[in-house]
Structure 1
Amino acid sequence: MPEWQERITRETPPAIRIEHEVRYGAVAPLARSAPTWVDLGCGAGIAAAGALAGEGPPRAVLVDASEEALAQAAREIPAGETIGVQADLATADGLAAVRTALGDARDGVATCFEVIEHLESFIGVIELLVELATERDFTVVLSVPNDAFWPIESPWHKTMWGEGSFEELRRLLPAEHVVIQQVPLQGSALIPEGAEAALAGPFVGRADGVPSHFLAAFGPRCRELGARSGVAQADLAEQRRWERQREANLAIYEDHITWADRQLAQRQG
């Protein structure tokens, strides 16, 4: 069954959580050394905090539509100063709130991971990101999913993305930009007794592999982003418990729908 979880929580399966941490991990060195880091669609901040590993930027501007998520992100993400902005990035008011929070900030870093596909209109946020890069010397990194990788359409996504639509998006970006494909990995590890459990080793790539996400980076430090991978130890018992609970919930929902359909048919009959 598809994974519809759209916000990272501590119960998120390791395979989903690590893909978010890899994205933030690639940006973490830039964010730490920048005077301001703005994260559009920060969610609860769990993946970003994991990637930052206790060392964050001097100033973090966290943006999300959820007040609850913002409050948790402010607790999770280490930063000298944290500014939370509750905003709908599909609206002019939401984008104006972000600009106000940034003030006259320059030489910063901006991230926009797994946000664009959720917006009814994403042109405004792209214009904001390009403005930050071209007028304020921000280094910007954004991502979109590759729907060719996912067999079932997400009910939460407003737009569909693939190689063609991503190429169209690139036309809106500055000519000097970097494209990175994110590919899913599966693996295992051997750990000798007494050795460190944290591993980050080589992996075998496939020329015909389908990326799960497309990333684009632009701005003065975009060339500093490169190849990166991450591994997370899987708690298979917890994963199976989570999957079985989801299956049980789905069965209950299907029973409710069947019952409601019967009631409606009886009333209409």
Structure 2
Amino acid sequence: MTRICTGCRDGADFPVAITMAFQPIVDTLTGGVFAYEALLRGADGAGAAEVLARVTDSNRYAFDQACRVSAIECAVAAGILDTPALLSINFLPNAVYSPLACIQLTLSTAKVTGLPAERLVFEFTENEHMGSPSHVLGIIDTYKRIGFTVAIDDFGAGHSGLGMFARFTPDEIKLDMELVRGIDGDPRRRAIVRGVVAMCAELGTIIVAEGIETEGEAATLRELGVRYHQGFWYARPALAALPAICESALGRAA
């Protein structure tokens, strides 16, 4: 693979060919697709964990750039331009050396494929130490000026909580599946999510609940005011394709 971001730090090329699977984020109010999340896969069939295990300090820059390009190209090839849906892409803050320089390949790929920058959502989480807060703020400010949406993934897990939310002012948060799992039978989880919904309503922040697997979870989250849903209950990820939403899930959401 040719090194793909000359603005980034010197480093090794990423040694694994990658592709993407896509999973819809459902707008339960309209029954349509709000966005498709691009999920990492190896071109040889390897799962995300296996591919991520090959990421090192020397190749993470090339990896992050390759993921962005693959997500855009695969989504366009799968037909996202025929829909109004956004495209949600995960990124590594530690893989962004200069926000403006490192975004150029993303912008050129979007332009060549015809995908407007305003339809891109970038998700980040703090599963690893990600450097100085000022650096992350610089990335977010740059992305917002370009017109991207910025989301905190896995909200409520580990460090991805209220401190990050207050510091980084995202446009969107994605509730961690640990808050979602079994929420219909857990008053503590319901109380926490109810509080997050109220907070986000006051701040104008979109909430997505991910990892929804049952009708009870979906119904409870709707009752709590969470409009956007993602998970196996609605659709499983599809490799290089945009999966349809399960009709029975939509029917019960009506």
Instruction: Give TM-score scaled by structure 1 length.
Output: 0.36
Q: Look at both structures and tell me which one has the larger radius of gyration over its CA atoms.
A: 1
